[in-house]
Amino acid sequence: MKAVRILASLLLAVLLLLVFGWALSPHDVAEAPEAALPAIPVKWEHQALRPLLAAAAPLSAKAELGQRLFFEPRLSRDDTLSCSTCHDLSHGGIDRKPVSIGVGGQLGPINAPTVFNASLNFVQFWDGRAATLEEQAAGPVHNPLEMDSSWPQVIAKLLQDDSYRSAFARLYPAGISSEAITDAIAAFERTLTTPNSRFDRFLLGDGNALNDQEQHGYRRFLELGCASCHQGVGIGGNMYQRFGVMADYFRGRPENTADLGRFNVTGKAEDRHVFKVPGLRNVALTAPYFHDASAKTLEEAVMVMGRYQLGRQLSNDDVHAIVAFLGTLTGEWQGKVLE
């Protein structure tokens, strides 16, 4: 009798499972989040790309000092160049030149990346040779093709300035030092984030922030696989990748040191032509593109990425749609949309 009751209970459980299973199918479960977000007129999940959330706040004392140093030409040997020379905050954080011009008119070997949102990068420079913003800030000071100076020269000049001596003394027990200079500059650069792009607003639920073509471009960006490298909050900047995954980008051109990428740091054969993937925030403002500045327009850059990274010949419709989407990544700094 007890066995019969157990069997009956099992049969009832199976019957209930079948009944409610039909009422709540896996398809219905998958659709539930869609119904919870009726303001977003799309049917794909925002899994790869993330919004940049940054609250406006007054600069700290260190960041204020770093801001002054960022614009300080005395960091260079002949007092002609500052960080802002190559990273113009009024022009997308770059100088918009194929390569930057250093002391005495010398040309650098590589295209300068934007300083905006650099704090989101997992390493600094195209080849990742600097692990932190502090390390990056020291690089141009010593580079003979850039500022062509040294810490003893820089510190000697800053010590002649009473206001600098006072400012450093308040913040750093040791006063003016290389560590204090790079720490202050890095503190300022960490404030150079650009939230509140139209794409950020879209991800946060504003279904009207992107028009139909821009939403289509975002869809194609995901479907084609662009987000396999350009993802996260920075929409890139968090991994290394070979330039030329699907075809040899460097074939037929004379090899130069800048083209070797990560190999210059590690010396490993597998790191030849490997670079830090750049973040795409504000990318519409940062032409020319790539480490070699070979793409003059965003349309050209998208086509090159399609061919060499994805192995695809992108249609004109896809190129225009993706470029339209990339234009929505332009954010705000100090409450104003970047230009």
Regarding whether 234 and 160 lie in a shared domain, the answer is no
Its domain, for residue 174, covers: 61-189
Q: Does 15 fall in a domain?
A: no
- Is the domain of 155 the same as that of 267? no
Instruction: Look at residue 99 and tell me if it is in a domain.
Output: yes
Mean pLDDT of the 153-158 span: 98
Mean pLDDT in residue range 333-337? 93
Q: Quick one: which of 49, 40, 45, 324 has its CA closest to 207?
A: 40
259, 327: one domain? yes
Greatest Cα-to-Cα distance within the chain, rounded to the nearest angstrom: 100
Options 146, 214, 299, 339, the catalytic residue: 146
pLDDT for 255 equals: 83
Is a pLDDT exceeding 50 seen at residue 201? yes
In contact, 149 and 83? CB cutoff 8 Å = no
Based on the fold, state whether residues 259 and 137 are members of the same structural domain.
Answer: no
Q: 46 exposed, middle or buried (CB, 10 Å; 0-12, 13-18, 19+)? A: middle
Q: Do 208 and 330 reside in the same domain of the chain?
A: yes
Structure tokens at 230: 């350009």
Instruction: Provide the domain count of the chain.
Output: 2
Question: Would you place residue 14 in the very low, low, confident or very high pLDDT band (cuts 50, 70, 90)?
Answer: very low
Q: Is 214 a catalytic residue?
A: no
Q: Looking at 2-16, 37-51, 95-109, 122-136, which range is the least confident one?
A: 2-16
315-338 core/surface letters (b: 16 or more CB in 10 A; e: else): eeebbbbbbbbbbbbbbbbeeeeb
Q: Are residues 70 and 177 in the same domain?
A: yes
In a domain, 26, yes or no: no
Task: Write the CA distances from 307 to 17, 26, 206, 326, integer angstroms.
Answer: 51, 38, 33, 18
Residues 70, 175: one domain? yes
Domain boundary among 129, 157, 189: 189
